[in-house]
C-alpha cells in the first residue's frame, strides 16, 4: 500500500500535508560563482501531521530535519514539492505568496534561545512583537496578552522589563515559547527546543510544551535528535536519513518494533540506566555520505550491516511492512530483519 492510499483510508483531519518536498542548495565555485552541484538537504519528503498530534522528526545532524521545518514555514523556499495547511477546513497551499496570511496559524520555536531573542529588546517587547506586526494596536490589550502568555509559560509579570541576558537558558526558551504562542497558532514547529538546555531544565520545558498543547489545542512538529525526548512527547515519529524519511510510524510501534537498520542503530546509542535492558552497541561503519553526492540504491547501504547487492542498486520505497498500514519503512529487508526495540521508562 502506498502513502497516498493510506492517506485516503485515514479519516482524521490533516492539519499539515507535505508532499514530495525537495530542498537543494546550490554549490557555487569560481569567480563567476557558477553552480557546480547541489546539496540535497531534503530529497523527496512526504508526511502529514494530524490535528492535535505531535509528529517527531528525528535523525542525526545534517539529515535535513531542520531544513524541512524551515521549508514548511517558508524560512527557506522549497526547490520542489507541495505543502498544504488546513485553514478552517480549507486546504491552503503554503508558499511565499500565502505564508503571510498563514503566519498566525503556523509558528516556530527556535533551537537556540540565546540567539533567537533580540538582546536589545525587553521581554515585553519580544513577546508583543508578533501582536504589533499583526495589527493589535491597543497597548493595554497587548500588555494583558503578554502577561497572560508569561503566566502560561511559567514566568512572572515582574520580568516584563528585563532583557534576555538577565534570564537563564530555560527561562529564555520560555520567552521564545510565549512569543510563538502570541497569535494563538494551530501548528507549532519546535526545532530542537531543548537540545541547548541543561538536562534538568529539558524535562521542565518538555512538560511545559505538553501542558500548553493540552491547554491551547496545539499541534506540534517536533524536530529532535534525542530519541528519549521524542519518546516522551510524540505520538508518531518520522526517522530521516540523508534528506529522506526511512521509517514512519506510531511512537510505541517504533520503539517496540523498529524495522529500519538505521533506527536500530539510533536506539543502540540511547543510554539505558538498566543493566538488564541493554542493547548491543551498533557502531555505524564509514562516514555519512555527502548529501551532494548520495550513494546509489539505498542511501544507508555504505553503513548498513545487513546490506545485500540489491541495496546498492535499487532505492527502496517508503511502504507498509507486515501489513501494518501505520508502519512505513524504506528497506528491502524490512519484513525479514528481526531488529530489537527498546524499553524506555
Using CB under 6 A as the criterion, which residues of the chain lie in contact with ligand SF4 when the complex forms? Answer: 260-261, 298, 300-301, 304, 306-307, 311, 316, 331-333
In whole angstroms, how close is the CB of 253 to ligand SF4 at the nearest point?
A: 18
Sheet of strand 14-29, all strands in order from the earlier edge strand to the far edge: 34-50, 14-29, 80-87, 90-93
Q: Which C-beta is closer to ligand SF4: that of 138 or that of 293?
A: 293
The DSSP call for residue 158 is G
Residue pair 40/243 in contact (Cβ under 8 Å)? The answer is yes
Q: Is 215 helix (H, G, I), strand (E, B) or coil?
A: helix
Write the burial class of residue 142 (CB in 10 Å: 0-12 exposed, 13-18 middle, 19+ buried).
middle
Measured between alpha carbons, how far is 281 from 261 in angstroms, rounded to an integer? 13
Q: What are the CA-CA distances from residue 175 to residues 60, 122, 164, 298, 304 (Å)?
A: 27, 11, 9, 42, 42
What sign does the dihedral 179-181-187-193 (CA atoms) show?
Answer: positive
Residue pair 294/40 in contact (Cβ under 8 Å)? The answer is yes
The DSSP call for residue 277 is G
Q: Which C-beta is closer to ligand SF4: that of 12 or that of 305?
A: 305
In whole angstroms, how close is the CB of 301 to ligand SF4 at the nearest point?
A: 4
- Quote the distance between the C-alpha of residue 129 and its chain's center: 25
In whole angstroms, how close is the CB of 266 to ligand SF4 at the nearest point?
A: 13
In whole angstroms, how close is the CB of 306 to ligand SF4 at the nearest point?
A: 4
Q: Helices 169-181 and 139-152: crossing angle, nearest 10°?
A: 130
In whole angstroms, how close is the CB of 300 to ligand SF4 at the nearest point?
A: 5
Q: Which C-beta is closer to ligand SF4: that of 320 or that of 331?
A: 331
Q: Which C-beta is closer to ligand SF4: that of 16 or that of 298?
A: 298
Q: Which C-beta is closer to ligand SF4: that of 70 or that of 327?
A: 327
In whole angstroms, how close is the CB of 54 to ligand SF4 at the nearest point?
A: 26
In whole angstroms, how close is the CB of 314 to ligand SF4 at the nearest point?
A: 8
Q: Which C-beta is closer to ligand SF4: that of 222 or that of 333?
A: 333
Q: Which C-beta is closer to ligand SF4: that of 145 or that of 301?
A: 301
Amino acid at each position: 500500500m502506498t502513502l497516498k492510499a493510506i492517506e485516503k483510508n485515514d479519516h482524521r483531519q490533516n492539519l499539515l500535508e507535505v508532499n514530495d518536498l525537495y530542498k537543494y542548495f546550490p554549490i557555487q565555485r569560481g569567480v563567476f560563482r557558477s553552480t557546480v552541484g547541489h546539496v540535497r538537504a531534503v530529497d523527496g519528503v512526504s508526511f502529514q501531521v494530524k490535528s492535535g498530534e505531535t509528529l517527531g522528526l528525528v535523525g542525526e545532524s545534517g539529515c535535513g530535519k531542520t531544513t524541512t521545518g524551515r521549508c514548511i514555514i517558508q524560512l527557506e523556499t522549497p526547490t520542489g514539492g507541495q505543502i498544504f495547511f488546513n485553514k478552517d477546513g480549507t486546504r491552503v497551499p503554503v508558499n511565499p505568496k500565502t505564508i503571510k496570511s498563514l503566519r498566525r496559524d503556523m509558528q516556530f520555536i527556535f533551537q537556540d534561545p540565546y540567539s533567537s531573542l533580540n538582546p536589545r529588546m525587553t521581554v515585553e517587547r519580544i513577546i508583543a512583537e508578533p501582536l504589533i506586526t499583526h495589527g493589535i494596536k491597543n497597548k493595554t490589550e497587548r500588555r494583558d496578552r503578554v502577561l497572560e502568555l508569561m503566566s502560561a509559560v511559567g514566568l512572572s509579570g515582574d520580568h516584563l522589563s528585563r532583557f534576555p541576558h538577565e534570564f537563564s537558558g530555560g527561562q529564555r526558551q520560555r520567552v521564545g515559547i510565549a512569543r510563538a504562542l502570541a497569535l494563538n497558532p494551530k501548528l507549532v514547529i519546535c526545532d530542537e527546543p531543548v537540545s541547548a538546555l541543561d538536562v534538568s531544565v529539558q524535562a521542565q520545558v518538555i512538560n511545559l510544551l505538553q501542558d500548553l498543547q493540552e491547554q491551547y489545542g496545539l499541534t506540534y512538529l517536533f524536530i529532535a535528535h534525542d530519541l528519549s525526548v521524542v519518546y516522551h512527547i510524540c505520538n508518531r515519529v518520522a526517522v530521516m536519513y540523508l534528506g529522506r524519511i526511512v521509517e514512519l510510524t506510531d511512537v510505541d510501534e517504533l520503539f517496540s518494533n523498529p524495522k529500519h537498520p538505521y533506527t536500530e542503530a539510533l536506539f543502540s546509542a540511547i543510554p539505558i540506566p538498566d543493566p538488564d535492558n541493554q542493547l548491543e552497541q551498533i557502531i555505524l561503519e564509514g562516514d555519512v555520505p555527502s548529501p551532494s553526492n548520495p550513494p546509489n540504491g539505498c542511501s544507508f547501504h555504505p553503513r548498513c550491516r545487513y546490506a545485500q547487492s540489491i541495496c546498492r542498486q535499487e532505492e527502496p520505497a517508503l511502504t507498509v511492512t507486515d501489513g501494518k498500514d501505520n508502519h512505513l519503512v524504506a528497506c528491502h529487508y524490512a519484513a525479514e530483519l528481526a531488529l530489537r526495540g527498546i524499553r524506555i521508562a
